[in-house]
Structure 1
Amino acid sequence: MSRGRPGKLIAAPDARGLQYFWAFWAKGKVARREDGERGERGERVSRSRWLPNQHGAWAMLAVPFLAGTFLGHPRWVHLPLLAAWLLGYLAVYHAQQWLRLTRISRNPKAPRRHVRPALVFGSAGAAVGLALSVSHPWLLLAAACAAPFVAVNSLYAYANRERSLLNGVAAVIPACGMLLVALRLGGGSWGAGVAPALACLLYFGGTVPYVKTMIRERNSAAYRRGSVAYHAAALVAASLLNPWLAAPFTLYLLRASLLPGRGLKVGVVGAVEVLCSLVLLGVVVGVF
């Protein structure tokens, strides 16, 4: 105790009490920061449960569709077609994840997380697609042509072999076929879309082994040789479709030959693929 004014005693500060106070204050500050981080993390998890973390798939979905749209005559009807296309992809993705997790996960909640997104996206996509098919019945035939490839992807998902090369190719084919659908909806002919659709197929088919050489199979010499061999053959085939395609496909061959083994980050790999996809879109629209 210490003496202040005459007749009054003032308690001296208690060192232990100050320690408790600062510890309590610091703990509260850390807790508030953790709550904020947890909230942001929860929002990211919530979004990821609805939107798949497959950045390469978006380029594969968009480029053939946009190429077909611009090769024909862009119309307002392309907007609901794009909506139906993307909603259908999202519905199929979640349905396939439900199939996969139902078989391999011990946590019953894991597959259930995909039920609501599959139903919501599927219902919305079906509504838009059926409305379009009233005025364009041939779209039902296009959907039927894509169904076998969706079935193959679903079987691979059920077997938990989504990273298989054949599964990747089965996903690429209907995506590139959307060029024909968008072109026909814009007033173009089926025949005019065959060559540009094949050009898209040659490129996106090559991304399946190439991306593996950059990430999952980056230490596999066999995968690297196979990827380079494919891109060399694709260069020849693309040149036969149109000589101007030799330029972008030479670029794709160089990236398949030179980039694997350099330890590039996933973000850099993705940025390179976005650039290559944009080059393909520009050349296809420009030369066909």
Structure 2
Amino acid sequence: MTTPAPEHRSGFACFVGRPNAGKSTLTNALVGQKVAITSGRPQTTRHTIRGIVHRDDAQLILVDTPGLHRPRTLLGERLNLLVRDTLSEVDVVAFCLPADQKVGPGDRFIAQQLADVMRGRRGTPVVAVVTKTDLVDRDTLARHLMSVDALGDWADIVPVSGVEGFQVDTLADVLVSYLPEGPELYPGGELTDEPESVMVAELVREAALEGVRDELPHSLAVVVDEITPREDRDPANPLVDVRVNIFVERDSQKAIVIGKGGSRLRHVGTEARRGIEALLGTKVYLDMRVKVAKDWQRDPKQLNRLGF
């Protein structure tokens, strides 16, 4: 009598939540490597970044989306549309609610939309994920879990900390349990399906967002012009030229990014270069240019040109 082969599951899980709910940090923790940029600023994520978790019994593809919010610009409307399109295509949704912030209007707004997802044709299960548990004490966490439970009819509720790794494996087990049986969808060892140019642009934007004024994150976009190996280099000591344009909406914002005497831009370059060299596995010459694209968040033509 032959022993049946153990079942293998594969499919997609989508992280949603209001801006800065810890979705990108959790994606990186589950994958075990940085595939999504993180920042203390809201609306850091602007693309769906897929991270791939490889296990003997499953392959879990994570879709990290921009934060759902009430949009004030055309960019905001397009980001929300991106999230809603993603929700209709995944096997399970993980709704992230940070433990250090009380359930608020933004969470209720998202919960209402997720109720439609659960009632929809596919009946997609939604797991409530209480993030950032490392930032609160046990009593605060218990109260928050009760508030989250009252917010909707969730398939499961899982408290986690992406920073400390608390219950990250448990969350993976829960998400995998809702995936259909199936073979691997991506080759083993692949951690993301994002093109290198997108990852490079995100690393530059992450570095540029650190330590800036509140209005800048929404106004900053990065486009990679080229990533080309330097031809005259010794093969034993290769160098890759990476040229990027950083777009802002006003001259005053350009001055913020560059800093006095170019000091801030040099710091951005140093921080971004570390991540890019780790990503590409080689030394990098990073050439950054800061340009003004007036009111690009509200201009359909410029949004298209910048990849939104």
TM-score (norm. length: structure 1): 0.32
Q: Which has the higher strand share?
A: 2
Q: Where is the helix percentage greater, Structure 1 or Structure 2?
A: 1
Q: TM-score, normalised by structure 2?
A: 0.31
